């Protein structure tokens, strides 16, 4: 043979690491064609290298798993806290939803026991933190109050007004003072063509609204007012009083649902 086996085997190591010259690689290939022992040596080299690489991979995988396990152990308290918070939040939101609280005021008002599929929404008033909804039911007009309390809207109190055949009538009524915050809402529907406008409220907060037949006109104040503070009067185009808000009862006991627009006697 042209080359010594020991020399070729040394060159095999260089070839394996891809650092042998082209001439050395050619010499190794020519020798391997002639020498069975060197071919066997090369084969054994591949097996040993494969075993070494496999062992290194297993060691690296073991080290990686160990690092992951250590990170999990370090973060375990944080994971437990996060899971506890998630559980608390899910319980809180589920309970709030079950008790009628909602993320928007309208859906909250729909959860009132006075609102059903037959209820008709006549209008609404947004006066933060309140949002008032006016509904017409089969027998009465219902005024439903909702109030924002982060992060939900929740139902407040409600009131009603009786249905009448009056040409000028209340289609709701709401006045409340809650945690230092007050609100008064008085919705009116007018079918008397002679009524041009309505004035209502105390001197420093008296409002005037033009009347359009059949439309719901809403008076609102960011304070609680008693009915006798409203001093509601409906006027003709000429400024003549036609109706006045009050009670048509003679006994000492009066009820809110008896409040009506009474014709002014001439």
Are residues 129 and 244 located together in one domain of the fold?
A: yes
User: Which domain does 188 fall in, by range?
Assistant: 105-263
pLDDT in tens, the chain (266 residues): 566 777 666 666 666 767 667 777 777 677 666 777 767 766 766 655 555 555 556 555 666 667 666 776 777 788 888 888 999 999 999 999 888 899 999 999 999 999 999 999 999 999 989 999 999 998 899 999 999 999 999 999 899 898 989 999 999 989 988 777 889 999 999 999 999 999 999 888 899 999 988 899 999 999 999 888 899 999 999 999 999 998 876 655 666 667 889 999 76
Residue 183: inside a domain: yes
Are residues 87 and 156 located together in one domain of the fold?
A: no
Spell out the alpha helix ranges (H) of 99-124.
105-109
Are residues 129 and 68 located together in one domain of the fold?
A: no
Spatial separation of the C-alpha atoms in residues 191 and 196, rounded to whole Å: 11
- In the listed set 39, 74, 94, which residue is the last one of a domain according to the structure? 94
User: Into how many domains does the chain fold?
Assistant: 2
Map residue 3 onto helix, strand or coil: coil
Are residues 115 and 152 located together in one domain of the fold?
A: yes
Are residues 256 and 134 located together in one domain of the fold?
A: yes
Are residues 56 and 178 located together in one domain of the fold?
A: no
Q: How far is CA 182 from CA 32, 147, 201, 225, in A?
A: 102, 12, 15, 8
Are residues 76 and 179 located together in one domain of the fold?
A: no
Q: How far is CA 139 from CA 63, 68, 136, in A?
A: 77, 68, 8
Contact 46, 53 (CB under 8 A): no
Residue 99: inside a domain: no
Are residues 131 and 238 located together in one domain of the fold?
A: yes
Are residues 132 and 201 located together in one domain of the fold?
A: yes
Residue 254: inside a domain: yes
Residue 239: inside a domain: yes
Are residues 118 and 233 located together in one domain of the fold?
A: yes
Total residues belonging to the chain: 266
Are residues 81 and 166 located together in one domain of the fold?
A: no
Map residue 176 onto helix, strand or coil: strand
């Amino acid at each position: 043979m042209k080359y010594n086996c020991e020399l070729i085997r040394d060159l095999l190591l260089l070839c394996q690491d891809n650092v042998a010259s082209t001439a050395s690689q050619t010499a190794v290939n020519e020798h391997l064609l002639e020498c069975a022992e060197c071919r066997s040596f090369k084969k054994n080299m591949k097996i040993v290298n494969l075993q070494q690489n496999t062992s290194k991979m297993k060691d690296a995988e073991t080290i990686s798993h160990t690092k992951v396990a250590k990170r999990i152990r370090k973060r375990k308290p944080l994971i437990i806290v996060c899971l506890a918070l998630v559980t608390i939040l899910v319980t809180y939101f589920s309970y709030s939803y079950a008790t009628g609280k909602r993320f928007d005021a309208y859906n909250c008002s729909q959860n009132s026991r006075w609102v059903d599929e037959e209820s008709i929404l006549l209008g609404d008033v947004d006066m933060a933190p309140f949002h008032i909804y006016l509904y017409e039911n089969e027998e009465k007009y219902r005024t439903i109050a909702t109030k924002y309390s982060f992060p939900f809207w929740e139902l407040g109190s409600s009131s009603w007004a009786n249905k009448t055949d009056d040409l000028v009538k209340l289609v709701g009524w709401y006045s409340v003072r809650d945690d230092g915050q007050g609100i008064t809402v008085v919705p009116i529907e007018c079918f008397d063509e002679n009524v041009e406008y309505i004035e209502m409220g105390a001197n420093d907060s008296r409002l005037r609204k033009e009347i359009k037949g059949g439309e719901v006109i809403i008076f609102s104040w960011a304070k609680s007012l008693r009915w006798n503070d409203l001093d509601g009067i409906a006027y003709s185009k000429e400024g003549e009083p036609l109706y006045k808000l009050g009670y048509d009862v003679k006994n000492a006991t009066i009820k809110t649902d008896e409040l009506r627009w009474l014709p002014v006697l001439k």
